[in-house]
């Protein structure tokens, strides 16, 4: 009986690890610059591609699976949403330009008479320094704020 319980628990742990979405990015480093190659990461709302330029401009592009998806870009980290919220998921990707967090809320479809609510993706970054966020459609670009003093060095 004890062996059966251990075998069942081992199978559950194995399948839980197989079903987890990878949240990594391929990083290529030269002598003094590391760049994240475009690498698709699966989220509940679709695939996300992240690129980082040599000057740490982070571009996050969501290819949504549903047409009614709103994307917001925020240039700082926010705490996660409530764990009991239906359809909420968080994906975190470490890049050389900062820690990118993608919070998704997938709204299930309702009855035919109800207005369809949009799915929401909130893309944030914990950058090494201050930055700006610009959202265009389903693409968010985080640009570091460079001071004039730093440019003159």
- Per domain, the residue ranges of the chain are 26-144
Alpha-carbon distances, residue 87 vs 79, 82, 83, 118, 144 (angstroms): 17, 11, 10, 12, 32
Q: Residue 8 burial by CB count (10 A; 0-12/13-18/19+): exposed, middle or buried?
A: exposed
pTM > 0.75: yes or no: no
pLDDT band at residue 32 using 50, 70 and 90 as cut-offs:
low
For tokens 């990707």, the residue is 93
Q: pLDDT of 3-25, one tens digit each?
A: 544 444 443 333 333 333 444 45
């Amino acid at each position: 009986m004890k062996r059966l319980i251990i075998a069942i628990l081992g199978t559950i742990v194995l399948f839980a690890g197989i079903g987890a979405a990878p949240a990594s990015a391929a990083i290529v480093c030269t002598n003094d610059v590391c760049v994240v190659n475009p690498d698709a990461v699966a989220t509940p709302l679709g695939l996300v591609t992240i690129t980082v330029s040599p000057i740490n401009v982070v571009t996050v592009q969501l290819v949504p699976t549903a047409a009614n998806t709103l994307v917001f870009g925020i240039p700082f980290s926010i705490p996660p949403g409530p764990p009991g919220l239906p359809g909420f998921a968080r994906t975190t990707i470490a890049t050389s330009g900062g820690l990118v967090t993608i919070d998704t809320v997938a709204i299930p479809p309702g009855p035919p008479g109800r207005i369809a609510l949009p799915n929401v993706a909130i893309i944030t970054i914990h950058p090494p320094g201050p930055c700006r966020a610009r959202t265009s459609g389903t693409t968010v670009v985080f640009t570091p704020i460079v001071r004039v003093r730093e440019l003159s060095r």
